[in-house]
Structure 1
Amino acid sequence: MATKTEVTVEEKLRTLYDLQLIDSRIDEIRNVRGELPLEVEDLEDEVAGMNTRLEKLQADLEVIEDQIKEKKNNIEESKTLIKKYSTQQDNVRNNREYNSLSKEIEYQELEIQLSEKNIKEFRAQIEQKNQVIEETQNRYNERSEHLKHKQAELNEILKETEKEEQTLIKESEKYEAKIEPRLFKAYKRIRSNVRNGLAIVAVERGASGGSFFTIPPQVQVEIAGRKKIITDEHSGRILVDPDLANEEREKMEAMFAKLK
């Protein structure tokens, strides 16, 4: 029965470093997009909100127009009643009936005055709302045009990078599957806690990559020996020797070039 080949520490370090290079490349692609997707999303929400406001203002205008029509109808009804009561006054038999009709005429005249006052107020509201609609429409047109340019900009970037990003994500998953869960969990934890997402770095000029803290010569010898996984005591990053890093970088850069 064949025994499962033991994965050496060096192989683990190479796989981890390859994964780091892939994930860093994905980070670069996403950094190119920067805040643009969020900016587009915010603009879409803003334009949708203004569109909803314009629809609401337009609906308010229709309600006010209906109210004006109603008041105009009331005026016509009052005029008809005044005419009717005035005719009836010509045929009354006593002062009581005449006075009663006069009160009805007076009431209808007050109703006309009130309706005319309401119409005037409604027309002032229409003028005010039309001004708000014009301002909102201008702002809507401006933001819609801005959104169109930003969407085109984002689509262009996505078009250039989406295929490469998706391929790299699949490659990242392949390399992840090669790493034991405990080590991968540590890699993810370190990556989320350090600047630039670099969880595994090479020793550069006697210091941890991206750090000013020097590494003791004895520790550098151990790192170059590739017999155990060593982390930087200051940043927590996993360390590899420069030769291993250069070999894996050349290999992965060749792969990235094929993806473009």
Structure 2
Amino acid sequence: MAIEQNKNDQTLSVEQRLRALYELQTILSEIDRIKTIRGELPEEVRDLEDNIEGLHTRVDKFKAEIEDLRLKSAKEKNNIEQAQAQIATYKQQLDNVRNNREFDLLSKEIEYQTLEIQLSEKRINQYAREIDNKNADIAAAEETLTDRNHILADKRRQLEEIVSETKKDEERLRLQAKELEPQIDARTLTAFKRIRKNARNGLGVVYIQRNACGGCFNRIPPQKQMEIKMHKKIIVCEYCGRIMIDPDLAGVTEGEA
């Protein structure tokens, strides 16, 4: 495959490569135009999908925390029942005490268990407040989810309409671009893609306009313009790095340029 590519590079003249490169640039610019028509909708759809997924995760987290609080509350209720049973036992034992020491010990145990009940009740009330707060958070998140889902459905509908209108054109253009690439040597094609990626307007190839670079509009010396018109080698702008061609090669008359 590499040998075939090298043979193609040798058989194609610089002018042929430049012509193919400019045609490729024209096709890719049209694809860019289609993407511009879509605007920021694809990004907005992705952002909404991420936002909705995050809200679902938040709701699930709240629900798990509520379940944990309910388990803790149930444990405290069980502690209260056990403490009440202990108090009942100690009160029965008070009827059979033989001395003040036993009475004092049982009284302290009853007091301790009473305090444990109060602490458990305090925790239960705290858990109940936390559950109420988390239920409120869930309600707010679900309300936001409803709004986001409505917006997402609308954005998806808009995007589907635009994509359906432009999909065939984009597929045709991408096929044309793919068919053109073998007419350009690998090194130049790689450089072109890199330049195009870094260029604000996506232009990797520009033609001379009013004696200046069609990309950055810096003036090009007459000698350099002559070299560009000769099509002997690929020349880039020393200011912006874009590949430069003459207007004739781009199919533009001097007056239009």
Instruction: Please give the TM-score of this superposition, normalised by the length of structure 2.
Output: 0.77
Q: What is the aligned-residue RMSD (CA, Å)? A: 3.2
* Residue in structure 1 matching 2:207, options 174, 190, 202: 202
Displacement of 1:236 in angstroms is 4.3
The answer to whether the 8 Å contact 2:83/2:113 transfers is: yes
Alignment pair present for 1:50 and 2:50 = no
What one-letter code is carried by the residue in structure 2 that aligns with 1:83?
A: A
Displacement of 1:177 in angstroms is 0.7
Displacement of 1:176 in angstroms is 0.9
Deviations 1:184-223 (A, max 9, x none): 2343344344442223233445544356456567766665
Higher alpha-carbon deviation: 92-101 or 79-88? 92-101
Aligned match of 1:174: 179
Q: How does 1:135-150 map to 2 (within 5 A)?
A: 135-150=140-155
Q: How does 1:178-189 map to 2 (within 5 A)?
A: 178-189=183-194
Alignment pair present for 1:124 and 2:132 = no
Higher alpha-carbon deviation: 163-172 or 201-210? 201-210
The 3 A distance-change label for structure 1 pair 115 and 21 is same
Q: How does 1:1-260 map to 2 (within 5 A)?
A: 6-209=11-214, 212-213=217-218, 229=234, 231-232=236-237, 234-246=239-251
CA distance in 1, matches of 2:124, 2:188: 77
What one-letter code is carried by the residue in structure 2 that aligns with 1:53?
A: R
Structure 1 SS opposite 2:251: helix
CA distance in 2, matches of 1:34, 1:178: 32
Aligned match of 1:255: none
Q: How many residues align?
A: 245
The 3 A distance-change label for structure 1 pair 93 and 24 is same
What one-letter code is carried by the residue in structure 2 that aligns with 1:177?
A: P
What one-letter code is carried by the residue in structure 2 that aligns with 1:155?
A: E
Higher alpha-carbon deviation: 97-106 or 41-50? 97-106
CA distance in 2, matches of 1:189, 1:84: 85
What one-letter code is carried by the residue in structure 2 that aligns with 1:67?
A: K
Instruction: Please give the TM-score of this superposition, normalised by the length of structure 1.
Output: 0.76
The answer to whether the 8 Å contact 2:215/2:240 transfers is: no
Displacement of 1:11 in angstroms is 2.7
CA distance in 2, matches of 1:108, 1:217: 101
Higher alpha-carbon deviation: 238-247 or 104-113? 238-247
Unaligned runs of 5+ in 1: 248-260
CA distance in 2, matches of 1:28, 1:141: 34
